[in-house]
Structure 1
Amino acid sequence: MTLNSEERSMTHYILKDITRPSGGFAMLAVDQREAMRLMFAAAGASLPVSDRVLTEFKVNAASVLSPYASAILIDQQFCFPHIVERQAVAPGCGLIVAADEFIPGNGIPVDSVAIDNNVDPVAMKRDGAKALKLLVLWRSDEDPQQRLDMVKAFNTRCHRHGLLSIIEPVVRPPRRGDRFDREQAILDAATELGNSGADLYKVEMPLYGKGTQSDLLAAAQKLNDRIAMPWVILSSGIDEKLFPRAVRVAMQAGASGFLAGRAVWSSVIGLPDTDLMLRDVSVPRLQRLGEIVDEMMAKR
């Protein structure tokens, strides 16, 4: 059923609005910004890589892949207006908008993050969004209260307008010193933010999805013990060949699916005939991941 803008404004979305019928999440991310520009540059695209290149890829990916995703995460900066205008998202696919402002610094595209006040929840919802997403950079030597306050403000902004709140804590080395235990940091971030009032927790897969299945399962179970809300894994940093197993193991530990981009489409970046490559390479990957989600949900 398609809602008009007035009906949308009064709707309070629930997690079921962005899941598969099985209750699991098989969600696609195309909200990468300067990181995606770097990916195109690394793939040999003409330099400088223009905004138009990013926009076209994102719109194509939404059009080709959204029929196979329970939801799609997009950004306002490069693609939201274009995707809405072209009606690129399939009817059964929920729309999630990134509400994070990426602040570059120290030679990296995302050195800090703030809530993007240019992302208007009312306008996003009117144009079809059901959820907003916030990246939270977690460093052991930065103030936890600032992170918690930002998440609280974000949750309030979402829930006041009937939108779902998705948080994405991503761990980084401390500002000072060179000691960094990624695995412990992921657990510490989950302890801090896993009961912060959001609707969904998007998390980095322990061990980059490598190692034995039993090691992965034990690490994922530690995460599950710390997260008091439904959670899904992302695919950044994981070999795309290992990601299906990562989804399976994470779900065995208690996760409810995935919200991922790179494992689905990164290998077609920079190739000719983008539409064709997405159909031939990325669609089967996303379909298989969706099947795994359904298989694991059926075992519950």
Structure 2
Amino acid sequence: MAAMTTAERRGYQQICDETGSMMVIACDQRGGMRAVLASDPQEQAKISNEVLGDTKADIALYLASEAGCVLVDPICAVPHLIDRDILPRDTALLIGIDASGYDTTPEGYRISKMVEGINARRVRELGGTGGKIMIYLRMDHEAANTENLQTLKNVIEDFASEDLLLVVEFLTYRLENESKEEYEAKIPMLIQEGTRACLASGAKVLKLPYPGSEASCAEVTRIAGDVPWAVLSAGVDHETFLGQVEAAMKNGACGVIAGRSLWKDCISLDRNVSREKLSTVAVSRLRDLQAIIRRYRQQSVAA
């Protein structure tokens, strides 16, 4: 497994909280955030990048400043988060390089897309502490992964050439004609094998979907070895995510990269509403996550 360089490790330290655990607020979504702000597709299409940028600015102001790091996109959020003095001086910045949405092959496989013109050098120019890439994987279908894993390897090499931190995320997905029950039964295997594939490509920090159970979390930790991994929220409700974080931290996770579970019912096209809910409801949820992380980190140090 590839070890972090000194520069990468410094970047990793900056995306962690005072306990040394990853505590990142994710708001790099574009299509997903539009869907939260408006239920009608026509209304979603009317939501401009500027409106999304303002929403992300509010999330950064109220949540990222309390967490220590924010993950945003290079389309709506930067550089104005920095140029308008919204991002606190001591808040780390991860910049997502994956594009919104995906292409689909005739077989129904998802092909990940990257934002045009955004590479490691550009992430550095935008003031990023590091970057984040997301790819789709279905590890039980080799042909589904060839192009996405090649994209991942290319991006990892690019960030290595700049000696810049890169967080690697993968998502799995249900195939057409696959029942919900069939898919859910495969999730532990899909997450474990996806972890192996990302590590084989050179990933040094991982952002993973909940592996499905405590036992699967422990297996992911075993597979990852010295490579730290954070669990993502995938838009589940707050109470569900708290249980997932508890299970993940208990079994070796190194923190969370949380988005929609914190803010999905707190943002609005009315910024006054957003600010009120973000500063109360969302911050309270963040405190719940931080309490779990702090408890398991203290237990780890004590051990």
Please report the TM-score for the alignment, with normalisation by the length of structure 2.
0.83
Name 1:24's counterpart in structure 2.
21
**Hey, what's the Cα distance between the residues in 1 that align with 2:165 and 2:172?**
23
- What is the CA-CA distance between 1:138 and the residue it aligns to? 0.5
* Equivalent position to 2:261, from 252, 260, 263: 263
- What is the CA-CA distance between 1:239 and the residue it aligns to? 2.1
User: Which structure 2 residues correspond to residues 1-300 of structure 1 after superposition, within 5 A?
Assistant: 13-42=10-39, 46=43, 48-51=45-48, 52-105=50-103, 111-139=110-138, 140-141=140-141, 142-174=143-175, 180=183, 181-207=186-212, 216-228=213-225, 229-270=227-268, 272=270, 273=272, 274-300=274-300
**Hey, what's the Cα distance between the residues in 2 that align with 1:130 and 1:15?**
8
State the Cα deviation string for residues 125-165 of structure 1 (Å, max 9, x = none): 23320111111101232354433322221112112212111
**Hey, what's the Cα distance between the residues in 2 that align with 1:151 and 1:191?**
13
**Hey, what's the Cα distance between the residues in 2 that align with 1:79 and 1:49?**
18
- What is the CA-CA distance between 1:87 and the residue it aligns to? 2.1
Q: Which runs of 5+ in 2 are unaligned?
A: 1-5
Letter in 2 for 1:85: D
What number of residue pairs does the alignment pair up?
A: 280
**Hey, what's the Cα distance between the residues in 2 that align with 1:105 and 1:124?**
24
Task: Give the fraction of aligned pairs with identical amino acids, expressed as a percent.
Answer: 22
RMSD: 2.6
Please report the TM-score for the alignment, with normalisation by the length of structure 1.
0.84
- What is the CA-CA distance between 1:185 and the residue it aligns to? 1.7
**Hey, what's the Cα distance between the residues in 1 that align with 2:198 and 2:14?**
23
Letter in 2 for 1:149: Q
**Hey, what's the Cα distance between the residues in 2 that align with 1:192 and 1:176?**
25
Q: Which runs of 5+ in 1 are unaligned?
A: 1-9, 208-215
**Hey, what's the Cα distance between the residues in 2 that align with 1:241 and 1:254?**
20
Letter in 1 for 2:207: K
**Hey, what's the Cα distance between the residues in 2 that align with 1:11 and 1:44?**
43
Are residues 105 and 193 of structure 1, via their aligned partners in 2, closer, same or farther at CA, if it must alter by over 3 Å? closer
Are residues 226 and 147 of structure 1, via their aligned partners in 2, closer, same or farther at CA, if it must alter by over 3 Å? farther
Are residues 138 and 81 of structure 1, via their aligned partners in 2, closer, same or farther at CA, if it must alter by over 3 Å? same
- What is the CA-CA distance between 1:116 and the residue it aligns to? 3.0
Match of 1:133, SS? Answer: strand
Letter in 1 for 2:290: G
- What is the CA-CA distance between 1:289 and the residue it aligns to? 1.4
More displaced stretch, 113-122 vs 195-204: 113-122
State the Cα deviation string for residues 257-298 of structure 1 (Å, max 9, x = none): 000101111111337421111101111211231232122111
1:28·1:73 contact (CA, 8 Å) conserved in 2? yes
2:37·2:44 contact (CA, 8 Å) conserved in 1? no
**Hey, what's the Cα distance between the residues in 1 that align with 2:223 and 2:200?**
8
2:137·2:144 contact (CA, 8 Å) conserved in 1? no
Name 1:4's counterpart in structure 2.
none
- What is the CA-CA distance between 1:29 and the residue it aligns to? 0.2
Letter in 2 for 1:219: S
State the Cα deviation string for residues 235-276 of structure 1 (Å, max 9, x = none): 014221121222122011110000010111111133742111
Name 1:213's counterpart in structure 2.
none
Letter in 2 for 1:166: V
More displaced stretch, 24-33 vs 59-68: 59-68
Match of 1:168, SS? Answer: strand
Match of 2:265, SS? Answer: helix
